[in-house]
Amino acid sequence: MSVKNAMTSEFLHSAYGGESMAHMRYLIWGDLAEKEGFPNVAKLFRAISYAEQVHATNHFRAIGGETAAATVAAGGIFGPNKTADNLRGAIMGELHEVEQMYPVYLHTAEFQNEPEAKRSFHFALEAEKQHASLYQQALDAVTEGKDIALDSVYICPICGHTVLNGAPDRCPICGTVKEQYHGF
């Protein structure tokens, strides 16, 4: 299956690029947090990196079997900094997705009657809201020189839903059962 409309297709490519970059950026920042003595922030970065992989995978699938060059002009934060700076960058990126990017992409997919893109954008939008809030919790802790308090982070492999300390019986976004969640 592939998308019918050029604008939705463009948005899927852009979102795929943005999610791919976020996936790698969070892995890098996870390693840096570990080195800086924040193992739980590192765990959060790595878990959310996986959630971004889930989003990239959904967008990639929704684009369909297209062979084409695509230039990605994704907004992003570059470079390694201190963990507090990296968390600020992460929050900025997540809020951009929640407030600007995904609402516009989602409404376009709805308007253009593109069910697969709509599903993919909806899943990402809902998960990014949790990411912004969890990174803010982490930043609050790190600002006080502490690690974030958490035991584990669970990610839904279908939509990227992200939750601390144990998975729900069913994903509140997509309905996936608890046993499917990936634990970090």
Which residues contact Fe ion (rule: CB under 5 A)?
19, 52, 55, 94, 124, 128, 131, 156, 158-159, 161, 171, 173-174, 176
**Which residue, chain included where needed, has tokens 């970090």?**
184
Pick the closer one to Fe ion by CB: 124 or 139. Answer: 124
Smallest gap from residue 108 Cβ to Fe ion (A): 17
Smallest gap from residue 183 Cβ to Fe ion (A): 14
Q: How far apart are CA 184 and CA 181, in angstroms?
A: 10
- The helix or strand, by DSSP H or E, that contains position 182, with its residue range, turns out to be strand 182-183
Give yes or no for a contact between 158 and 168, defined as CB atoms under 8 angstroms apart. no
Pick the closer one to Fe ion by CB: 46 or 55. Answer: 55
Smallest gap from residue 71 Cβ to Fe ion (A): 20
SS3 at position 170: strand
Smallest gap from residue 170 Cβ to Fe ion (A): 9
* Bridge partners, residue 163, by sequence: 154
Pick the closer one to Fe ion by CB: 55 or 114. Answer: 55
Pick the closer one to Fe ion by CB: 19 or 147. Answer: 19
Q: How far apart are CA 16 and CA 24, in angstroms?
A: 13
